[in-house]
């Protein structure tokens, strides 16, 4: 069996154990990842700490060229990497290829931002005491970054943490999800081809029960975590003096207004409730439809969902593949059954086959059902009629989560009202909340997290302002 090495301070290494990786669709063994020993983890953290000053002083062209190299190499190996993602994650090739394309963009964007990463100046002679003085304000790294990455986008969500760190000159230690470590290890292979100094990066596929030591280590003052809410908030509570960025998911809502293009809305909602098998924190889960269009919209949605191609993720036509595990699919099944027992009606789907769950639409879901209140992280949505935009927005906001929301409308008034009133980090007008451009700020409010991703936003998050005042200048 192919055992991939991990990356310790930029060098390939093996430990004394390994993680076996299996394909969620058929259970076949994909490969294995070497697991570092506690001593090797210590070496990686010590190396990141030791190289921090050198990393912060790296010329911008060195950072930018390393990032551009990784972008080019991902593009050159795109099909190989997409197939690796499908193998370990189970997502259809359609979405794996899209993920690879996004990672190419993330590293390219980071290379571009690195070349623009300059300070700014302020004249201070706005008051007499500042005569002859000017401030130079630069952003400098807060220190080495610990990146804890999830299984659902094993390449691109790793890229969203690694690329900004390198761009600002911060060493980074990556702990990938145990279910999907191979994509992150391949990314480490590409980073190792660059001229970045030793210690600048490590990729350590340690089990989750050994992660607490990493998050607590004071030599890693930044923790960037994407994953489950309970774990994320526990980390933040345990290290209150660290800078912790959390992307924790949600139960994304869509509002279909009276003036919406129903064919477009049905097509987008159907696809993006079920893409990645619903395992996306911005996958559509709640759909609120103007009552005057509800009876027209729902049949279109049902027809489109029933027409999605499900099954083998290796099939070029498959749109919806398996969940990450059979346990995950069984949890989705239990939540749907609970909602049905409480009075909900199944309009489409509602069946499980191993790790796969059929794309599902529910109606009449009680407000206190898990599917209404929590993130299902599976291919399930529910629809509900509303009598006004105000009612729809109130329902969107009636949630512990607030990542992104989608509003299908042609009205600028409604668009700006949504932006003003919806308690989310991003409002997507005319489309689903699943839309994300990799350069835009991306983050949530309430229990959806803290801080923002997006290349430049993450660069700002990893740094702080440092001021130098020049005195006696002939301004």
Euclidean distance between CA atoms 255 and 6, whole angstroms? 45
CB 182 within 8 A of CB 29: no
The Cα–Cα gap between 374 and 368 comes to 10
Residue 373 annotated as catalytic? no
Q: Can you give the length of the chain in residues?
A: 475
Beta-bridge partners for 310 = 320
Whether 461 contacts 243, CB under 8 Å: yes
Residue of 112, 281, 333, 375 marked catalytic: 281
Exactly one of 88, 112, 113, 247 is catalytic; which is it?
247
Catalytic residue at 247?
yes
By DSSP bridging, strand 360-363 and strand 345-348 are: antiparallel
Distance CA 383, CA 68 (A): 44
Alpha helices in 326-411 (DSSP H): 326-341, 370-373, 389-397
Structure tokens at 72: 């080019």
Task: List C-alpha distances in Å: 65 to 71, 108, 112.
Answer: 10, 10, 10
- Most distant CA atoms of the chain, gap in Å: 78
Q: Are 232 and 246 in contact (CB under 8 A)?
A: yes
Q: Residues 14, 3: contact at Cβ < 8 Å?
A: yes
How far is 426 from 403, CA to CA, in rounded Å?
7
Residues assigned a catalytic role: 247, 281
């Amino acid at each position: 069996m192919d055992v991939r090495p991990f990356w310790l301070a930029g060098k390939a290494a093996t430990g004394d154990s390994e993680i076996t990786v299996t394909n969620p669709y058929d259970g076949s063994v994909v490969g294995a990842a070497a697991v570092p020993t506690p001593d090797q983890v210590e070496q990686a953290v010590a190396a990141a700490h030791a190289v921090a000053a050198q990393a912060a002083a790296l010329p911008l062209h060195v950072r930018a060229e390393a990032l551009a190299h990784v972008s080019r190499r991902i593009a050159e190996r795109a099909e190989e990497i997409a197939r690796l993602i499908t193998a370990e994650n189970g997502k259809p090739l359609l979405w794996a290829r899209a993920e690879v394309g996004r990672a190419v963009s993330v590293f390219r964007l980071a290379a571009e931002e690195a070349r623009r990463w300059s300070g700014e100046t302020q004249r201070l002679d706005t008051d007499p005491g500042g005569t002859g003085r000017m401030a130079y304000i630069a952003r400098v790294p807060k220190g080495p970054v610990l990146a804890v990455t999830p299984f659902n986008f094993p390449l691109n969500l790793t890229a969203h943490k690694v690329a900004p760190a390198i761009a600002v000159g911060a060493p980074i230690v990556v702990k990938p999800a145990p279910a999907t470590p191979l994509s992150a290890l391949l990314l480490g292979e590409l980073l190792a081809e660059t001229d970045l100094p030793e210690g600048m990066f490590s990729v350590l596929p340690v089990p989750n029960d050994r992660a607490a030591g990493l998050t607590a280590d004071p030599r890693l003052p930044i923790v960037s975590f994407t994953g489950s809410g309970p774990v994320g908030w526990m980390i933040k509570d345990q290290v209150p003096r660290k800078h912790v960025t959390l992307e924790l998911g949600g139960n994304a809502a869509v509002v279909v207004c009276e003036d919406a293009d129903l064919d477009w809305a049905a097509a987008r909602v159907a696809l993006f409730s079920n893409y990645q098998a619903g395992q996306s924190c911005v996958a559509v889960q709640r759909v609120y439809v103007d009552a005057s269009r509800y009876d027209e919209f729902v049949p279109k949605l049902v027809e489109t969902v029933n027409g999605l191609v499900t099954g083998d993720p290796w099939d070029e036509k498959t749109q919806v593949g398996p969940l990450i595990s059979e346990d995950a699919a069984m949890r989705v099944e239990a939540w749907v059954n609970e909602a049905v027992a409480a009075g909900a009606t199944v309009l489409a789907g509602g069946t499980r086959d191993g790790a796969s769950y059929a794309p599902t639409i529910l109606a009449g879901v009680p407000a206190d059902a898990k599917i209404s209140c929590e993130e299902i992280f599976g291919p399930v949505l529910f629809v509900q009629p509303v009598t006004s935009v105000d009612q729809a927005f109130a329902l969107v906001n009636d949630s512990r989560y607030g990542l992104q929301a989608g509003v299908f409308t042609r009205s600028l008034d409604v668009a700006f009202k949504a932006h003003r009133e919806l308690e989310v980090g991003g409002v997507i007008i005319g489309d689903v909340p699943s839309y994300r451009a990799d350069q835009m700020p991306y983050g949530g409010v309430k229990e959806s997290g803290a801080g923002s991703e997006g290349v430049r936003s993450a660069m700002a998050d990893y740094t702080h302002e440092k001021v130098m005042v020049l005195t006696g200048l002939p301004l």
